Homo-oligomer: A and B are copies of this chain.
Amino acid sequence: MNKLKIIGFDADDTLWENGLYFRKAEQEFALMLRNFIDPDSLHARLYAVEMKNMPTYGYGAMAYTLSLIETALDVIHSAPNSSKALSQGKIDSGIIERILGLGRGILSHPIELLPDVESILPVLQARYRLIIVTKGDILDQERKLSKSGLLPYFHHIEIVSEKHEENYRDLLRRLDVAPAEFMMVGNSLKSDVLPVLNIGGQAVHVPAASIWEHEQCEKPLSPYYEINRLGQLLTVLA
C-alpha cells in the first residue's frame, strides 16, 4: 500500500445521497400514472426507455426527465383505460408540467453527505492526493460539488461520460500516475471497481442503500476491498 499516491472517489451515492432523489421522483411519477399502470410495470417501461435513450442522452437528471416524459406518453397512449386522459390524441398537460417539476426537483435537492465523509477526507488529504471521478451532467455535478463544501479536499475533479477502462487509463495518464499507484472508492462494482481492477489499479466497494439496475454487475474475480461504511477506508489503508 505504500505505493499508493492518488485516491479517486465516486461522488453520487458514495459522498452524498443521489439515487434516493431519483427513487422519490419515480414514486411521484407512479402516482401520477396510477390510473394507467401499476408501479412495477411502470418501472420496467421506464427502465427500457432509459436504456434505449442511454446512447443519445447519457446519464443525469435531464436525461431522466426526457425519459420520464417519453414513458408517460407511451404509457398513456397504450393503456387500456386511456380514454380517461386521452381523447383524440390529447393528454393532460398537467402531467408533463409535473414531470418537468420532478426533474427540476432532482436538480435542486440539498446535498446530504453520507456517513464518515467529513471525518475521513481531512485525514486522507494529509497522506494522498484525492480526486473525484464522476459521471453525469457537468453543471449538475459542479453544483453538487460546490454545495457539498468538499471541494477544498480535492486536487482534481474529473466528470466523464462513462467510467470505462479507457476513461480511467486516460485520466491516470494525464495525472501522471501508474495504475498501481491509484485506488478508486465507490458504490458501483461496474463503474468504480471492475474497470479499475482491469487496468491494474486498486478498488474499494462501499455499497449504497440501493443500486440502479444499470450499475449492477457480476462480482469481479480480481481481489478488491469491500467496506460497509466509508470510515473503514482508514483500516484498509492502515
Chain A contact residues, CB within 8 Å of chain B: 56-59, 62-63, 65-66, 69-70, 73, 76-77, 85-87, 89-94, 96-97, 100, 103-104, 107-108, 137-140, 142, 156, 159-161, 174
Residues in B whose Cβ lies below 8 Å from that of A87: 90
Interface contact A56-B107, CB-CB below 8 Å: yes
A59, A103, A137, A160 pick with most chain B CB within 10 angstroms? A137
Q: Which of B65, B77, B160 interacts with A66 by CB under 8 Å?
A: B65
Q: Is the CB of A89 within 8 A of B100?
A: no
Chain B residues near A69 (CB, 8 Å)? 69, 96, 100
Task: Tell me the minimal C-beta distance from A66 to chain B in angstroms.
Answer: 6
Say yes or no: A66 contacts B58, CB within 8 Å.
no
Query: What number of copies of this chain does the assembly contain?
Result: 2
Task: Indicate if the CB atoms of B56 and A73 lie closer than 8 Å.
Answer: no
Whether A139 lies near B58 (C-beta < 8 A) is yes
A90 CA to B92 CA in the complex, in Å? 4
Sample of 14 further A-B pairs with CB below 8 A, known A86-B93, A138-B159: A56-B107, A57-B62, A58-B138, A62-B62, A62-B66, A66-B100, A66-B103, A69-B100, A73-B93, A87-B90, A90-B90, A91-B93, A138-B161, A159-B159
CB neighbours of A100 from chain B (8 A) = 66, 69-70
A107 to B57, CA, bound (A): 8
3 interchain residue pairs of minimum CB distance: A58-B139, A90-B90, A62-B62
**Is the pair B138, A104 in contact by a Cβ cutoff of 8 Å?**
no
